[in-house]
């Protein structure tokens, strides 16, 4: 559904201002390449927070708490 909304939005932009739509189409791969390291950092931080949560809740799980 999000892909359909993206395409409809791009076509509306293309009809209203075609040079801006073409610039957006050309810059999209560059923006995607820049966002890859940020996604990796987000995955790493999420993993570290999951480990910290597991360590903090370990005593409760050892005592039999099943939340």
> What pLDDT is stored for residue 62 in this prediction?
87
Domain boundaries, the chain: 2-62
In b/e form, how buried is each residue of 7-43, taking b as 16+ CB within 10 angstroms?
A: eeeeeeeeeeeeeebeeeeeeeeeeeeeeeeeeeeee
pLDDT at 67: 64
Model confidence pLDDT, tens digit, residues 10-66: 899 999 999 999 998 899 999 999 999 999 999 999 999 999 999 999 988 888 877
The pTM assigned to this predicted structure is 0.58
């Amino acid at each position: 559904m999000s892909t359909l909304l993206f395409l409809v939005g791009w076509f509306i932009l293309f009809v209203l201002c075609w040079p801006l739509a073409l610039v957006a189409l050309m810059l999209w791969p560059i923006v995607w390449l820049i966002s890859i390291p940020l996604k990796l950092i987000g995955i790493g931080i999420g993993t570290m927070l999951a480990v910290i949560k597991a360590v903090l809740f370990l005593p409760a799980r050892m005592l039999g708490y099943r939340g």
